[in-house]
Structure 1
Amino acid sequence: MTEAAATGTLEQALAHAARLLERDPVLATEQLDGILQAAPGHPVALQLLATVRSLQGNLPGALELLVPLARAQPDRAAIQFDLGQALARCGRGEEAIAALRRAVALQPGLPQAWRVLGDCLMAAGEQAAADVAYASHVRHSTRDPQLMAAAVALVENRIPEAERMLRARLKQAPTDVAAIRMFAEVAARLGRNEDALHLLERCLELAPGFGEARRNYALLLHRSNRPEQALAEIERLLAADPGDAGCRNLKAAVLCRVGDYEPAIRIYAELAESYPDTPKLWVSYGHALKTAGHLERAIAAYRRSLELKPSFGEVWWSLANLKTFRFGADELDAMRRQLARADLAEDDRLHLAFAVGKALEDAGEYEPSFRHYAQGNAIRRAKLDYSADDTSARVRCIRERYTPDFFAARAGAGHPAPDPIFVVGLPRAGSTLIEQILSSHSQVEGTMELPEIISITRLLRQQGDADDAMPYHAALAALDADALRALGERYLAHTRIQRKTAAPLFIDKMPNNFMHIGLIHLMLPNAKIIDARRHPLACGFSAFKQHFARGQEFSYDLADVGRYYRDYVALMAHFDAVLPGRVHRVVYERMVDDTAGEVRRLLDYCGLPFEDACLRFFQNPRPVRTASSEQVRQPIYREGVDHWRHYMAWLEPLASTLGPVLASYPEAPEGEWQFDN
């Protein structure tokens, strides 16, 4: 037989085996075994045999073939794709992502490889990268030149261009669901979440089975603080595909958002068993365990993540952020080795800088500790567009608008429910301690730093005049009594999912709500407002050495911290003057020195009878969702009150910016000091 004839016969045999794959895998296996006897190591035959094994559920057997085959044929995109799919099905997420990325790098026009890559990235919590992969899937799965061009612009982050093309497309074809979904992605990237949600709703009206659109919708509902709706959409997706790891991961995240930690922990545990080599999954699992009070399990989850990715700065910081955790000398050396790497990602570097700062602080090495804190803060500050002048302008505007006459004209407005207790102030000022004390009372439930007030301010901002310097406050001033009551009803309805007990009162401890006391008073006039205040150098430095997961953009520069503290004191002094007695202040140092007396005064303000459990707050097993979670599970101790003094030599920028506020603490200074910035 000639070589050409033999080759033709082999190709025919391979084609026949390929046709048998799904119809008769046993016969396909026999055919492929025969081919491999005649042509040992033939790559196409091995690839097809691996496919047969995958179809039969023999994933280890498939990988036994695909791993060496991919190593021997590194430039074959189809082999890398098959390897990625098999790894994903085996729960080896990081390896699957690497293989799939190699596949699409070798052959970008593989739409299903992009889709599977998106699924793997979603399961790993890499949402931004997943969005890009899904957009690439659209780009390469359509032959429509308009959609292809729009998808390319979206993948390359040329948002205005993508928006223009998609508008034109939808003008021509208003029911094109692929274009609607892509347009929703454009709106979401531009921060127009409401527009994005409406677009996705329309998309799902037209195509209820469009899974990627429903997944986007669920995620956007979660980001828009609509957890109940998000869970409903996730359940629809899981009904269609119970094993969808990305949806299960998202469900766990939403459950954590609403305080249902134990079911979330069960999901994370199952995912970690199925995807044991996914570092980000172990971090999410650790966060949930930590918040629910399972400290040792949380530490084990964090350490497992570090075994997989020793450079993972967020995990090192998560361990440091336990506050009661102490690094060993070997762990400090490991962090320093990572920091010394020239190729370390910037996000890992800043997290490691904060973590090393904490480790050195615990060791009493304050000067190098401060240097590392300063390094982490400098990296973070360079990424931000924060302006202390803008914050001061906001405070000035609030003080000018919210006068005694303003409130008198709206007396009696709002919803009469007394349910919420708002704990406000600066972060790291003792608000978690206050929450823990109050939530130990039988009539009070602790929740978390609820985002609903911020959501309402965004709604008002959209209703206001865009040309107004402060559209939210202008829109609020224009509301009548019914509209203010409706806002109160909305707040109560949207926070109801956070309430797990029959307690009549609940706590919202979002500290930044001190900027919104006017709104709170108008829409919920019977709600309680507690101001947590701590010494400005103690509070300011504690914020500076804390890397916050989000928000608190003022905290990454000592002078900015000083300005922010001054503005806070000025604003609280204003509301003390225009709404006398409305806000109850808890000074942290007084709480430490006279806990029983301060607790009784706090309960009196809230209209609650004294209960001994409030003095045994550290025995309260409730989940605590802040950086102080482990500290408030211990009795009050004085050591932390003056700890900042170890760093006094480096706090001059903070002290000098505080000005008279420092000398007058805990009271506000007299006069017009607050305008002298």
Structure 2
Amino acid sequence: MQVTNVVFNSTASPGDKTIIDPPAEERKIIVDLLKEEKVAEATRYSEGLITAYPRSFMLFYSLGMSCLLLDEAEKARVYLKRATKLNPGVADPWRCLGEAYLKLELNADARRCFDQALQLNPDDPASRRGMTQSIIDPADFDVSVETLEKMVTEDPDHPHLLMALGQCFVEQEKYIRSIDALEKAAGLMPEDTSIMAAVGQAYAEFNQPDEALQWFNRVLDHKPPRPQLLSMMANAARTKGEFELALDYANQAIALNPDGAGPKNTLASIHATLGDKKKAIEVIEDVLTQHPDNIEAMIELVITTTVKKDDPAYKALEDAYKIKPENHFAEKQKTRVGFALGKAYGDTNQYAKSIRVLKEVNAKRREFLGFDLENEVRSFELVKHVFDPITPDDCVEANPNDRQMIFILGMPRSGTTLTEQIIASHSQVYGGGELNFMNEETAELMYMFGLQPDVQLKKVAFEHIRRNYLGHIDSLKVGERFITDKMPHNFLRLGYILAAFPEAKVIHLNRDPVAVCLSCFQKLFPARGMGFTFDLRDLGLYYGMYLDLMQFWRDKFPGRILDLDYKTLTEDQEGQTRMLLDYCGLPWEDQCLEFYNTRRGVLTASQIQVRDKMYQGSSDVWKKYRRHLGELLDALDEAGVKYG
């Protein structure tokens, strides 16, 4: 965005005599600040002039652009809407307003703005790109992909269509397809920094921070750093485990926008990832001092601390939850507020209120996803049908020269993060976290089996999966031979793992079923494959299906799975740790007992807990909620699941 040129032009273009801009010397101060990339200072200065010049097109337009650059989309929307009313005959404010609406996920409104911009300036590439992106329906990415794929078939070298398609694939967690589409778009428009940033973000979501940072740095080769880009770079560096670099990027973002909440929230999340809860809270409290109504900071504070009734965030979240959302963006925010409020009620022993709020927000999320448990039932049965005829002859031969994979799996919230943290504290182990590689390599196969369920898997398929999976592992560029993959849902793909990796170690976590289900119900999982967590009855029945599938794998591949009991791990830490390391073929190292001191990025819902010493008794917390969990307990009973 060429800020300074646009501002110069905006003062000369209005023809409306009712528009009154600040005098030339005031305008020059604003423009000079923008030329020096002091966007935050220019914003503050411009805001100070609004009262004196309430009908200044130049002020509202420049403020809107500045807020976009500072990633403050809602403020940008207000200012730019005013600018378009003051002078509807200028194209650029309409385009910028469209970009603000896109950030707010109000794509229908964005489309109207881009249409207006293109009527005024048909050759503007940025407006054309925005119009293409507005095709995406944030409420239904499947339909959006279908529409965009048809358009790409007709016009395969349209960079903006490819960019929009790639961004949809990111939302569907189809990262390889996303990167393919986005990199093709970047090849067609090699100077377009928005596409570069989209490729970087796709790699970041794909848990490939090296590639993400390379693409983000390409953006910096073409334009000055912006707070939003630096925040994305900070998150990528955090994922990579380069915490000092992550902190540096976050602090650079704050220097560019010292009054903004977003970069500071990023800094707080980095401190939380490092387990420095004290610093995380200090940063969050600083945000709330400057922005007492910043919901994201309140949510982080509630998640990070134990809440009391007299805490300001407690009352603020209660008030925020009562507000009726006006759009999809506000609905998503209310969902986050509801989950935080549910935790706050639990912290203050108001268990009935906690479950009531959690039921409300979970039901909304379930409705948004269109989740139907019957689809899961069919998927589980299909997996068993596909693997039922598999014999040892169909499996790949072990190769001791390859990487030694350690798969840690089970239901979400069952202790997989803690187990990985213990093993990854070993000097010979790289903690991979929740890798999506196995899903990437098997999703198309499962789709095919859904259409042709009687097609039989052959050894060549498992060899292909092994080769491609290890290729993804190599892309992580780590030196350790032992690598953990703790994607909990790999229990659905365990047949592929056991057949393709006969030498792999598989650790399955067992924890009290009610503790697991309630913990899932209390967390907002962003992944679209977690729809079963948004209803208590669904959770109970799903848990029964999961146990049944795990028994199927034990019967099919006897002796290949180590079942680890979470409660036993917390009560006999050293004994169970020695057993784990021995099972993995690793020599003893004392540091595995002090897993909470290991400096590595933990990006799951358990990132705070694994920074504390081993805690006993967490599996019994659900009993405080027992009288409010009738639907869950009934479903578990119906599924034949025993619980404590």
Alpha-carbon contact 1:441-1:614 (below 8 Å) kept: yes
TM-score scaled by length of structure 2: 0.81
Alpha-carbon contact 2:265-2:284 (below 8 Å) kept: yes
Give the aligned partner of residue 81 of structure 1.
61
Letter paired with 2:545: D
Structure 1 residue matching 2:369: 3-state secondary structure: coil
Letter paired with 1:83: L
Match of 1:189 among 147, 164, 168: 168
The answer to whether 1:325 aligns with 2:336 is no
Structure 2 residue matching 1:209: 3-state secondary structure: coil
Closer, same or farther: CA 243–78 of 1 in aligned 2, 3 Å: same
Alpha-carbon contact 2:99-2:110 (below 8 Å) kept: no
Alignment of 1:23-102 (within 5 A): 43-44=20-21, 46=23, 49-51=26-28, 54-55=31-32, 66-67=46-47, 69-85=49-65, 95=75, 98-102=78-82
- The alpha-carbon deviation at position 361 of structure 1 amounts to 2.0
Closer, same or farther: CA 482–655 of 1 in aligned 2, 3 Å: closer
- The alpha-carbon deviation at position 516 of structure 1 amounts to 1.0
The answer to whether 1:535 aligns with 2:520 is no
Q: Which has the larger radius of gyration?
A: 1
Alignment of 1:77-156 (within 5 A): 77-85=57-65, 95=75, 98-104=78-84, 106-107=86-87, 110-113=90-93, 139=118, 142-143=121-122, 152=131, 155=134
- The alpha-carbon deviation at position 357 of structure 1 amounts to 2.5
Alpha-carbon contact 1:415-1:486 (below 8 Å) kept: no
| Percentage of matched positions with identical amino acids | 26
Give the aligned partner of residue 473 of structure 2.
492
CA distance in 1, matches of 2:444, 2:570: 39
Alpha-carbon contact 1:423-1:511 (below 8 Å) kept: yes
The answer to whether 1:398 aligns with 2:359 is no
Match of 1:371 among 356, 371, 396: 356
CA deviation profile, 1:367-389 (whole Å, cap 9, x unmatched): 22322332332332232222222
Give the aligned partner of residue 481 of structure 2.
504
Letter paired with 2:191: G
Closer, same or farther: CA 564–139 of 1 in aligned 2, 3 Å: farther
Alpha-carbon contact 1:441-1:611 (below 8 Å) kept: yes
Which range moves more in the overlay, 99-108 or 538-547? 99-108
- The alpha-carbon deviation at position 654 of structure 1 amounts to 1.4
Closer, same or farther: CA 153–106 of 1 in aligned 2, 3 Å: farther
- The alpha-carbon deviation at position 261 of structure 1 amounts to 3.1
Give the aligned partner of residue 15 of structure 2.
none
- The alpha-carbon deviation at position 286 of structure 1 amounts to 1.9
CA distance in 1, matches of 2:362, 2:622: 17
Closer, same or farther: CA 527–138 of 1 in aligned 2, 3 Å: farther
- The alpha-carbon deviation at position 129 of structure 1 amounts to 7.4
CA distance in 2, matches of 1:70, 1:368: 44
Match of 1:522 among 484, 488, 499: 499
Letter paired with 1:143: P
Alignment of 1:439-518 (within 5 A): 439-458=424-443, 460=445, 464=448, 467-468=451-452, 477=458, 479-480=460-461, 482-494=463-475, 496-497=476-477, 499=478, 502-518=479-495
Structure 1 residue runs of 5 or longer lacking an equivalent are: 1-17, 23-27, 29-40, 667-677
Give the aligned partner of residue 217 of structure 1.
199
- The alpha-carbon deviation at position 260 of structure 1 amounts to 2.9
- The alpha-carbon deviation at position 585 of structure 1 amounts to 0.8
Alignment of 1:624-663 (within 5 A): 624-659=602-637
Letter paired with 1:609: P
Closer, same or farther: CA 64–604 of 1 in aligned 2, 3 Å: closer
Closer, same or farther: CA 377–523 of 1 in aligned 2, 3 Å: same
Match of 2:254 among 272, 275, 284: 272
CA distance in 1, matches of 2:153, 2:259: 42
Closer, same or farther: CA 585–250 of 1 in aligned 2, 3 Å: same
CA distance in 1, matches of 2:387, 2:147: 43
Closer, same or farther: CA 157–577 of 1 in aligned 2, 3 Å: closer
- The alpha-carbon deviation at position 649 of structure 1 amounts to 1.0
Match of 2:159 among 148, 163, 180: 180
Give the aligned partner of residue 362 of structure 1.
347
Give the aligned partner of residue 587 of structure 1.
565
Give the aligned partner of residue 569 of structure 1.
547
Letter paired with 1:521: L
Match of 1:262 among 244, 252, 257: 244
Closer, same or farther: CA 542–325 of 1 in aligned 2, 3 Å: same
- The alpha-carbon deviation at position 429 of structure 1 amounts to 0.9
Alpha-carbon contact 1:419-1:504 (below 8 Å) kept: yes
The answer to whether 1:550 aligns with 2:527 is yes
Alpha-carbon contact 1:450-1:510 (below 8 Å) kept: yes
CA deviation profile, 1:525-580 (whole Å, cap 9, x unmatched): 22211001101111111211222233422111111111111111111111111111
Letter paired with 2:407: F
- The alpha-carbon deviation at position 147 of structure 1 amounts to 11
- The alpha-carbon deviation at position 234 of structure 1 amounts to 1.7
- The alpha-carbon deviation at position 241 of structure 1 amounts to 2.0
CA distance in 2, matches of 1:151, 1:504: 45
CA distance in 1, matches of 2:182, 2:71: 30
Letter paired with 2:83: A
Which range moves more in the overlay, 367-376 or 641-650? 367-376
Closer, same or farther: CA 276–402 of 1 in aligned 2, 3 Å: same
Which range moves more in the overlay, 647-656 or 622-631? 622-631
CA distance in 2, matches of 1:207, 1:582: 50
- The alpha-carbon deviation at position 84 of structure 1 amounts to 3.6
CA distance in 1, matches of 2:45, 2:127: 36
Closer, same or farther: CA 285–575 of 1 in aligned 2, 3 Å: same
Give the aligned partner of residue 598 of structure 2.
620
Alignment of 1:274-353 (within 5 A): 274-307=256-289, 310=292, 312-322=294-304, 325-327=306-308, 329-331=310-312, 332-342=314-324, 345-353=330-338
Closer, same or farther: CA 599–109 of 1 in aligned 2, 3 Å: farther
TM-score scaled by length of structure 1: 0.78
Letter paired with 1:605: Y
- The alpha-carbon deviation at position 583 of structure 1 amounts to 1.0
Give the aligned partner of residue 604 of structure 1.
582
Alpha-carbon contact 1:119-1:130 (below 8 Å) kept: no
CA distance in 2, matches of 1:482, 1:401: 17
Give the aligned partner of residue 416 of structure 2.
431
CA distance in 2, matches of 1:110, 1:116: 11
Structure 1 residue matching 2:451: 3-state secondary structure: coil
Alpha-carbon contact 1:413-1:484 (below 8 Å) kept: no
- The alpha-carbon deviation at position 256 of structure 1 amounts to 3.0
Letter paired with 2:510: R
Structure 2 residue runs of 5 or longer lacking an equivalent are: 12-17, 138-143
